[in-house]
Amino acid sequence: MMTVRQKTADDQGWIRALLTHHWGGTMVVAHGQRFEADALPALVAGDREGLATYRISDDGRDAELVTLDAAVPGRGAGTALVAALGRLLRGRGIPILRLTTTNDNLRALRFYQRRGFRIVAVHPGAMVAARRLKPTIPEFGEHGIPIRDEIELELALSEGDG
Under the banding of pLDDT at 50, 70 and 90, the label for residue 159 is low
- Predicted TM-score of the model (pTM): 0.92
Residues 68-124 pLDDT 10s = 999 888 889 999 999 999 999 999 999 999 999 999 999 999 999 999 999 999 999
Q: Where are the domains of the chain?
A: 4-156
Q: Does residue 4 have a pLDDT over 60?
A: yes
- CA distance linking residue 27 with residue 36, whole number of Å: 5
In DSSP terms, which residues pair with 152 in a beta bridge? 100, 121
CATH superfamily, domain at 4-156: Gcn5-related N-acetyltransferase (GNAT) (3.40.630.30)
Q: Which helix (H) or strand (E) holds 14?
A: helix 12-23
Residues 115-125 pLDDT 10s = 999 999 999 99
Among candidates 94, 60, 64, which has minimal Cα distance to 82? 64
β-pairing, 96-102 with 33-36? Answer: unpaired
| Residue 36 to residues 41, 52, 53, 66, 125, Cα–Cα distance (Å) | 11, 13, 10, 10, 23
